[in-house]
């Protein structure tokens, strides 16, 4: 009898997860980060909103399972792209950026991640500073129109680390 109760409970959890439902209770996040997820970046109050639509070219430049980001607004040129967790974007060179690396150099982006995972981005290295969680398929063509959640600090050119999370 105990086996059947356990099997029924596991089936209910699997069904809830498949349907995107949350169940009450507490548990550690599967990604190893137990704090509540950060919100997505917020639009700058009073800014003129440009279209968030990705151009077909930008989408084709961003492979499935990656978070892609571009040096300039509007997704021009070749994107930087990450599929894993990165504690320091400064370890990845990009000659077009002022400091020669991707750290503090993203001005547009697209989360084309995998399995519904969001990507949490941070203003500091090693997941420090301000953070924002970008759900799967989130995109914005001009980060200068965004601020970090609950601040007035520009989101543009200010990302230095990222990790993938199911807690977005």
Q: Give the residue from 90, 106, 103, 116 showing the smallest Cα distance to 146.
A: 106
Question: What does 101-116 look like in DSSP terms, one character per residue?
Answer: BSTT---EEEEE-STT
Q: Give the residue from 116, 118, 130, 115 showing the smallest Cα distance to 161.
A: 130
In a domain, 19, yes or no: no
Contact present, 64 and 137 (Cβ < 8 Å): no
Task: Please give the tally of structural domains in the chain.
Answer: 1
* CATH code, domain with 90: 2.60.20.10
In a domain, 36, yes or no: no
Read off the pTM: 0.70
Which domain range does residue 106 map to?
55-168
In a domain, 25, yes or no: no
Q: Write the CA distances from 55 to 68, 70, 83, 122, 161, integer angstroms.
A: 13, 13, 21, 26, 26
Confidence check: pLDDT of 60 > 50: yes
pLDDT digit string, tens, across residues 62-117: 999 999 999 999 999 889 999 999 999 999 999 999 999 999 999 999 999 988 89
Higher pLDDT, 33 or 71: 71
Determine which of 6-10, 53-57, 108-112, 133-137 has the lowest per-residue pLDDT on average: 6-10
In a domain, 123, yes or no: yes
In a domain, 70, yes or no: yes
Model pLDDT, residue 39:
64
pLDDT digit string, tens, across residues 38-49: 666 665 444 434
Dihedral class, residue 127 (left if φ above 0, else alpha if ψ from -120 to 50, else beta): left
In a domain, 135, yes or no: yes
What are 13's two structure tokens? 């959890």
Backbone angles phi, psi at 34, to 5 degrees: -100, -5
In a domain, 15, yes or no: no
């Amino acid at each position: 009898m105990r086996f059947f109760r356990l099997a029924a409970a596991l089936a209910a959890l699997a069904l809830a997860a498949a349907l995107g439902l949350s169940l009450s209770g507490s548990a550690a996040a599967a990604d190893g980060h137990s704090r509540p997820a950060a919100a997505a970046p917020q639009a700058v109050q009073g800014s003129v909103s440009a279209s968030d639509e990705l151009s077909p070219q930008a989408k084709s430049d961003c492979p499935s399972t990656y978070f892609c980001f571009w040096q300039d607004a509007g997704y021009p040129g070749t994107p930087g792209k990450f599929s894993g967790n990165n504690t320091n974007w400064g370890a990845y060179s990009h000659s077009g950026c002022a400091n020669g690396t991707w750290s503090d150099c993203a001005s547009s982006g697209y989360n084309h991640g995998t399995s519904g995972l969001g990507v949490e981005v941070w203003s500091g290295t090693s997941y420090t500073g301000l953070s924002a969680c970008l759900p799967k398929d989130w995109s914005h063509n001009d980060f200068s129109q965004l601020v970090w959640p609950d601040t007035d600090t520009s989101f543009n050119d200010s990302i230095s680390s990222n990790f993938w999370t199911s807690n977005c």
